[in-house]
Structure 1
Amino acid sequence: MTHIVWDWNGTLFHDSDAVVSATNEIFRPYGLAPIDLDGFRSVYCRPIWVAYERMIGRALEEGEWELLDRGFHDHYHRLMEACLLAEGAVASLAAWGDSGRSQSLLSMWQHERLVPKIAEFGIDHHFTRVDGLRPSGRADHKADHMEAHVRALDLDPAKVVVIGDSVDDGIAAQHVGARAILYTGGMTSRAELAALGFPVVDSLSDAMDLI
């Protein structure tokens, strides 16, 4: 492997507490009991509105998804300010760069928020390219974004490994013909990650050891 495509939320950026807390905030008016990370993982799926329907036990009404989504991001963008990089993130990025190999970042988070955030952590120099979700982009599937990302970097997919925390990361890697290592630091359960057939790790340092 000569190139890593990193995911951001739940992988390099340890934001699970913010995600769970923001979710609890938007469902507070519904009278739902607060959930913890394991509880969230038990209902989490993509698209996220399906997970919301699981939580409230009914189909969302017209316009309800938009209100919940807007509310979630309002809370998340406030709560994430207390979040840090995942354990081992800085060391992993530095070690890979020091080996003379390349790495990039592909996220489904808003591009205009992603770029200053990685600069704030002082890790932007590690990446040959950073792509987040731009205003005109669709957030439904990561696979198409991965295809465009790999093409823009003129990479041989056979030499690429994707490191991410979700089923979408694994599917995106499969879509372009890359390998993947899936990390349990995000919202998806280990069992669901393992079902894709890719290696599953509990730390970023374990992912680097596998490579």
Structure 2
Amino acid sequence: MPVEIPSHYFMPCGSRLDFRSSSGPPESDEHMSMPEGSRFGSIRHIVWDWNGTLFDDREAIIRANDISMRAAGFEGVTPERFAQHFARPTAAFYERVVGRPVDQAECRTLDAGFEKAYVAIMRDFSLAPDALDALDLWAASRTTSGRLRTQSVLSMWGHELLVPFVRELGVEEYFVRVDGRTGPPGGPKRAHLARHVERLQASVPGLAREEILVVGDVADDASAARSVGTACVLHTAGFDGFVTLRGTGAPVVSGLREAVRLALL
């Protein structure tokens, strides 16, 4: 059966994310959910999330967890077990899968095993099916005053791994910035987005925060966008269910082209 997998699994044992399992009506490419008054009129820049948004790596996350668990001597993780036991912080997920408390040493081993396994298999996966169409659509657009619109990537994945991989996939040229996580993993996205926006404003002349749109796939993306004063659109390819995404107040779309079309309204 289909299983929705978190796009932000790159968090250590102590990290906390408000996990609420929810479900909603199936989305089609022709539909989007927009709160009243959510139309945008002056978006100049899109900040794309990477994992689970532009890069379709949900199956990779399941496989990397399975490899990590088995390497540490635990039972492997099937898609069904992953969905059944998923929780935040990550230590709680490990404990639910293992069936007992997991100490910090074991947790660090599983974290390291996950990242090693993920890096080993990530090239088996690709961009989201409509990623290039969405990037091209935005790159070809202009503002009403004729200004070129721009886009960037902000990921909670490690910067030193993200940048060469974006280049390897041949999409680096679309972005004025590609920023991954620097420093220890974990925590919410807001501080990383704040730094990303500051850097954007330093490099894109006259760019105001209200002209920036974050496109992501989890509620934390909406929370981060709200905290720094940018707009946000969420799409349903990530782990958070439709009801949870809709509860953030951000528009919810079924694909990346829909996100761009909404930004162009």
CA distance in 2, matches of 1:207, 1:170: 14
Shift of 1:204: 1.0
Q: Which runs of 4+ in 1 moved over 6 A?
A: none
- Larger Rg: 1 or 2? 2
Deviation at 1:200, TM superposition (A): 1.9
Distance in 1 between the 2:185 and 2:68 partners?
Answer: 23
**1:187 and 2:239 correspond:** yes
SS in 1 for 2:186: coil
Identity %: 39
Q: 1:130 aligns with which of 156, 159, 178?
A: 178
1:137 deviates by 4.8
Q: Which residue of 1 aligns with 2:190?
A: 143
TM-score, normalised by the number of residues in structure 2: 0.72
Which residue is 2:219 aligned to? 167
| Number of residue pairs matched by the alignment | 208
Q: Give the distance between the partners of 1:175 and 1:117, measured in 2 at CA.
A: 29
Deviation at 1:43, TM superposition (A): 4.4
Q: Which runs of 5+ in 2 are unaligned?
A: 1-42, 142-147, 202-206
Higher relative contact order, chain-length normalized (CA < 8 Å, sep 6+): 2
1:22-171 map, 5 Å: 22-28=64-70, 29-31=73-75, 34-36=77-79, 40-41=82-83, 43-99=85-141, 100-134=148-182, 136-154=183-201, 155-171=207-223
**Conserved? CA contact 1:105–1:131, under 8 Å:** yes
Gaps of 5+ in 1: none
Native 8 Å contact 1:41 1:187 kept in 2: no
Higher helix share: 1
1:30/1:83 Cα in 2 relative to 1: closer, same or farther (>3 Å)? same
Distance 1:168 1:58, change over 3 A: farther
The answer to whether the 8 A contact 1:41-1:188 is kept is: no
1:158–1:177 CA contact under 8 A, matched in 2: yes
